[in-house]
């Protein structure tokens, strides 16, 4: 059986990870690749870690959850599928583990300035943080590790659509196959 690969899309909340993962998954499926798309928010809910508590959203809880995501990705990829995962999981330990253990690992980093993340704020996370309603927000009061050597970095460009970003990533992935 041919091993699959893992496309790990990371960035802060509101960076566009899920939007990009959906577009990339659709494009790969259209090319005939078996694809499983995983979303960090859905996985967090599935694994019972959705409630906003320090245990779930603090560094240790997030790190443990990210390593569970990585192991799940490995299990699916080992069955011959391409896994596209959208998750914050900004920890050097996770990135290092992924590079060592995940087949065909390809790391994508969506680097979006805080001002744009706050403007988008699709889940109200930044607004709720500013109001003092939540804490342990990745990139604000919870330090994160930017990827040291992502395979592809998408710097924010004003006016660049999600479709354009997906097309650019697909072109890079096609060369990497």
Nearest alpha-carbon partner for 101 in 2, 29, 3, 30: 3
In tens digits, what is the pLDDT along the chain, a chain of 177 residues?
467 999 999 999 999 999 999 999 999 999 999 999 999 989 988 887 655 555 556 788 889 999 999 999 999 999 999 999 999 999 999 999 999 999 999 999 999 999 999 999 999 999 999 999 988 899 999 999 999 999 999 999 998 988 899 999 999 998 876
User: Is 0.85 topped by the overall pTM?
Assistant: yes
Q: Which residues of 94-103 are buried (b: 16+ CB within 10 A; e: fewer)?
A: bbebbeeebb
The one catalytic residue among 13, 51, 89, 149: 89
Q: Which CATH class is domain 5-176?
A: alpha beta
Residue ranges of domains in the chain: 5-176
Alpha-carbon span 62 to 106, nearest angstrom = 21
Residue 89 a catalytic site member: yes
DSSP letters, 81-120, are -EEEEE-----HHHHHHHHHHSTT-EEEEEE--HHHHHHH
The answer to whether the beta carbons of residues 134 and 172 sit under 8 Å apart is no
């Amino acid at each position: 059986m041919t091993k699959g690969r893992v496309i790990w899309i990371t960035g802060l909340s509101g960076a566009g990870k899920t939007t990009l993962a959906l577009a990339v998954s659709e494009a790969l499926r259209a090319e005939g690749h078996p694809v499983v798309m995983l979303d960090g928010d859905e996985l967090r809910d599935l694994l019972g870690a959705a409630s906003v508590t320090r245990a779930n959203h603090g560094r240790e809880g997030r790190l443990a959850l990210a390593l569970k995501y990585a192991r799940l990705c490995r299990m699916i990829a080992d069955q011959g599928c391409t896994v596209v995962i959208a998750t914050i999981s900004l920890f050097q330990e996770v990135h290092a583990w992924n590079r060592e253990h995940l087949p065909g690992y390809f790391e994508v980093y969506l680097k979006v300035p805080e001002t744009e993340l706050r403007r988008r704020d699709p889940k109200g996370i930044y607004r709720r943080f500013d109001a003092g309603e939540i804490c342990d927000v990745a990139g604000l009061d919870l330090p994160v590790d930017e990827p040291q050597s992502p395979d592809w970095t998408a710097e924010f460009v004003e006016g660049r659509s999600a479709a354009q970003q997906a097309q650019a990533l697909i072109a890079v992935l096609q060369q990497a196959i």
